[in-house]
Chain A
Amino acid sequence: MVLERTSIPLYWRDRGIKYRLLGGECKSCNRRFFPYRKVCPHCGSTDVNKVNLPRRGRVVSFTVVHNAPRGFEYYTPYVIALIELKDGTRLLSQLTDVEPDEVREGMEVEMVIRIHRTCGESWLIAYGYKFRPVLKK
């Protein structure tokens, strides 16, 4: 059996990005991106600042995963969506608090923190961003 356990240092290192949508803002091309990285994926500049991205956005495209990898099978079917945040930054996220057949392109969504996965009953609970239909306009 191939059980890929959550790497604790990897999870720990990325927790700011996973809990607070830490992205990058390029001083050179003025564009933002997610997740934060040293080099701007748009223009290649290294003049990049960290920025907390907006928590609201809309669904650009989505899919319903029926065939999950190990570690995610308890949660099927779940929705993976490409989301465009209010400032135009795009990211991939699971949707939550919504049934797969209720999801629509263009649906307004907001960030929450949810369980991403666990590994058996003894290992770490990995938390991070998911998006759900906005509660209040």
Chain B
Amino acid sequence: MAYISGAGFTRVTNHWDLSLEDLAVEAGIRALEDSGHEEIDAVVVANSFSGTANGQEDLSSIIVDQLGIRDAPSFKVSLEGASGAAAIITATALVNSGIARRVLVIGVEKMSDVTALEDLTLISSTSLDRRFEREIGATIHSQHALIMQTYMRRYNIGEEDFGHFPVLMHENACVVPHAQFRYKLKLENYMRSPYLAEPLKLFDVPAEGDGAAAVVVSERGEVKISGFSISSGKVMLSLREDLLRLDVVRSSVKRALDMAEMDLSSISFTKIHDSSSVLAYLQLESIGLAEEGKAPQLTAEGRFSRDGEMPVNPEGGLKARGYPVGASAVYQAAEAYLQLTGRVGESQIDGAKSCLLLSISGVGSGATSIVLTR
């Protein structure tokens, strides 16, 4: 059985003075310190865009070299926004199988070295089908927007209903020291924000922030990795039967909970992959935390607030804590580890015993679920 025995991360922001590898080393050192300097016998790096944004491949070798770890196997695991979860699941498999006893998982993303908006849009859209989505001008935003449009039409709701989620995320992040945006967002400011791809607005999506997070996955520890699963589905929107059905979420959540021998009612809090407001709603509905079409209303009513029935993204999610793409699921795990061990200060959820971590690749091409228990 595998456990998390240490965690560390940097703040999510534009780290002008830190390089891709500086960030990774920083998070790695903090996690190792937190775990009490355990001997590491493998390193798994999670990252999505080091090739396109940083021109750096063979990333794990660079990081391990700079961390000063000698003679440990290392490799990079990549699954776009869910890279971090895929890396943790890989590390868990290494430990569970007995191949390794302690694995350092480092998630890192460094987008701010790319300064032009067109280039950032291009890089963040590389999870689309290149030949028949991206080469015709579709972007990551156009895909979220098409889903949002479909959601609005089917449930007859307006654009302001999508503002409830980012408003909640900003609210949560205000007390989180490592969050990228520690300010409250008003619904009217959400509504006034510019369109990226109508009706998707700037405040529907996270900004690309730099950051690195690390956890130590060990054969012993305080928080148990009791369930996990990865699901892969259809990439092209035009081939999906229903844009509002995230089958990958349903199946991965079910398998992870089954493995943990748990159900939703025993989960203390949930972390989802809010790469857009509409995708956040669809995840809440696919997990089973809201009926179809009801997620906006339940969000507005406070069900998912930190003191609500089912707290969601207590640190502010991708939207406000920040979205270092390939590292984001490692942030989820690191934050959850601190929550479950009662060490997060103002954003602490009292008595939290278990959590469900959900990440997404692309606009729902794949999904990862991890269940952690204390």
Contact = CB atoms under 8 A, between A and B. Distances in A.
- In the complex they form, whether A and B have CB atoms below 8 Å apart is answered with yes
Interface of A: 1-2, 4, 6, 10-11, 14, 17, 33-35, 41, 61-73, 75, 78, 80, 82, 90-94, 100, 105, 116-117, 126, 128-130
A70 B119 contact: yes
A96 to B, nearest CB: 11
Contacts of B200: 63
A77 B90 CA distance: 42
A70 B122 CA distance: 6
Contacts of B238: 34, 82, 90-92
B116 interface: yes
B146 A67 contact: no
A35 B131 contact: yes
A130 to B, nearest CB: 8
Contacts of A71: 118, 122
B132 A67 contact: no
A92 B138 contact: yes
Given A69-B134, A82-B146, A92 B139 contact: no
Contacts, number: 119
A92 B238 CA distance: 6
B222 interface: no
B20 to A, nearest CB: 15
Closest 3 A-B residue pairs measured CB to CB? A63-B145, A69-B122, A70-B118
A61 B118 contact: no
Most buried by A among B52, B194, B200: B200
B150 interface: yes
B156 to A, nearest CB: 14
A88 B106 CA distance: 46
A90 B197 contact: no
Nearest to A69: B122
Contacts of A14: 131
Contacts of A130: 136
Contacts of A78: 137
B239 A41 contact: yes
B122 A80 contact: no
